[in-house]
Amino acid sequence: MHRFIQNPALPACLAITNDELLPGSKIVINGQCRMDVHRGDVDSFRIDLFDGQCEHLGYSKNIAFHFNPRFRGPNHGSIAMNSYRQGNWEHHIENEYQFPFRAGQRFTIELQCQSDQFQIKVDGSYIYQFKHRYDYRRIGRMHIDGRLTIDSIRFETIRSQPQWPVYPPTPRSVMCPTIPYFDYDIRLSQQPVEVFLAGKIDTFPREYIQINLVNSERNRYWNGNGIVNIPVHFSIRPFQREIVRNTLTAGIWGAEEKHLYSGYSLNPGCRFDMMIRVDRHQVSVAINGQSAFEYRHRHSPNSIDALQVTGSIYLEHIRFQNYS
């Protein structure tokens, strides 16, 4: 299966699923160096593969693989490669003898994952290799930035799978997750899908509880409050006895919805279970086995690829389940 992203804005911040970096899988980047690529600071452009999630999602900045072409003129330079761990760069590798990039020139970069290293090709020629310093299976995010434009990014996995659904009906469970919680799962983009939450509202909640179904691929720019695109947002407000639904688009909230079918039941200190079912046209939510509300999509449901939970809540269990 291939995943294709066209004309991403820069800086690009892209999620990577586990099966997209199996040995033999490739990330293919087609782009063009800007004419001014050799001007300014030496870091002309860079590609970073993050161990786990990146600092934009509130995680530590550990970089499993840093690929950095450094122009020292329009037609010459060097390639720097490294990793970054707990605030420090590690052993630096720099190749000054093979530099395939040119100002204004188009290029194709292939990053192929092997069991012991990354192999890097530029315009079809194998040029570089980088031994793994992190477990490649933990890589969860890729950043691209600098003086370049990107035409397309293609993730090529090695296993042929049916196009729909990508995941079988086998559920995935997360036990006792830490709050705040953010989890990329491409199952969410393949409807119908259910997300089951079981937990407890804090006895003395100090903040609203937010459950967000997020489009992380398009969240390349963040404001001071975090994500700027949220297709489905639930705000549980225990003291107001409300569950507010909304959609955030480019940092702007839409009209709120508050009607509940069976009344409010998520009181301070109470245990609960919540079933969120995402279909093609709407999201249906049941709380403690009772239908609570429905929410019509304002964004394409296929854009949803992550779950975020914040606020005064303790979760015992999250389960993701697709249906064919």
Residue 22 lies in a domain: yes
If asked whether residues 83 and 211 sit together in one domain, one would say no
Residue 165 lies in a domain: no
If asked whether residues 275 and 144 sit together in one domain, one would say no
Residue-level pLDDT at 38 = 83
Residue 131 neighbours by CB under 8 Å, 6+ apart = 116, 117
Residue 162 lies in a domain: no
- The number of distinct structural domains making up the chain is 2
If asked whether residues 131 and 176 sit together in one domain, one would say no
Last residue of a domain, one of 126, 156, 186: 156
What percent of the chain is predicted at pLDDT more than 70?
88
Last residue of a domain, one of 156, 185, 217: 156
CATH code of the domain in which 234 resides: 2.60.120.200
Last residue of a domain, one of 100, 129, 156: 156
- The Cα–Cα gap between 146 and 154 comes to 19
Residue 166 lies in a domain: no
Instruction: Tell me which residue range forms the domain holding 91.
Output: 2-156
Residue-level pLDDT at 218 = 46
Residue 31 lies in a domain: yes
Q: What is the 3-state secondary structure (H, E, C) of the chain?
A: CEEEEECCCCCEEEECCHHHHCCCCEEEEEEEECCCCCCCCCCCEEEEEEEECCHHHCCCCCEEEEEEEEECCCCCEEEEEEEEECCEECCCEEECCCCCCCCCCEEEEEEEECCCEEEEEECCEEEEEEECCCCHHHEEEEEEEECEEEEEEEEECCCCCCCCCCCCCCCEEEECCCCCEEEECHHHHCCCEEEEEEEEECCCCCCCEEEEEECHHHCCCCECCECCCEEEEEEEECCCCEEEEEEEECCEECCCECCCCCCCCCCCCCEEEEEEEECCCEEEEEECCEEEEEEECCCCHHHCCEEEEECCEEEEEEEEEECC
For 189, phi then psi, to 5°, come to -85, 0
If asked whether residues 135 and 208 sit together in one domain, one would say no
If asked whether residues 152 and 177 sit together in one domain, one would say no
Residue-level pLDDT at 99 = 86
> How many other C-beta atoms lie within 10 A of the C-beta of residue 144?
22
For 207, phi then psi, to 5°, come to -150, 160
If asked whether residues 22 and 104 sit together in one domain, one would say yes
If asked whether residues 240 and 298 sit together in one domain, one would say yes
If asked whether residues 60 and 109 sit together in one domain, one would say yes
Residues of the chain scoring pLDDT < 70: 1, 18-19, 40-43, 53-60, 159-170, 217-228, 324
Residue 214 lies in a domain: yes
Residue 23 lies in a domain: yes
Distances (CA, A) of 33 to 4, 18, 42, 51, 219: 21, 30, 14, 27, 24
- Write out the two tokens for 18: 């586990």
Q: Which of 167, 212, 211 is closest to 193 using CA atoms? A: 167
Residue 86 neighbours by CB under 8 Å, 6+ apart = 60, 62
If asked whether residues 135 and 189 sit together in one domain, one would say no
Residue 96 lies in a domain: yes
- pLDDT, tens digit, 9 for 90 and up, residues 69-122: 998 888 888 899 999 988 899 998 988 777 899 999 999 999 999 988 999 999
If asked whether residues 311 and 244 sit together in one domain, one would say yes
Residue-level pLDDT at 135 = 87
Question: For the whole model, what pTM was predicted?
Answer: 0.52
If asked whether residues 109 and 231 sit together in one domain, one would say no
If asked whether residues 118 and 151 sit together in one domain, one would say yes
